[in-house]
Amino acid sequence: MSTAKEELTRLIERQPDDSSREEIVRELAFHVMVERGLADSDAKRTISNEEMARRIRSWQQ
């Protein structure tokens, strides 16, 4: 298993040479969000689409 630093270094190295700092940071943030989402899914910390739609409707009131 690799460390977080090794994992993020590999992600950075896969970016095009002309990537801006903002593009690299955005890619790293996206990767972290996906990993968190997958961990939540594995731990059954999810809600249905119907429940999410209900919550969004309640915010609009």
DSSP codes, 1-61: ---HHHHHHHHHHTS-TT--HHHHHHHHHHHHHHHHHHHHHHTT----HHHHHHHHHHHT-
pLDDT classification of 26: cutoffs 50, 70, 90: very high
Provide the token pair at 39.
């961990």
pTM: 0.73
- Number of structural domains (the chain) is 1
Provide the token pair at 45.
């910390």
Closest by CA position to 31, among listed 15, 8, 9: 8
Task: State the residue range of the domain holding 44.
Answer: 4-59
53, pLDDT greater than 90: yes
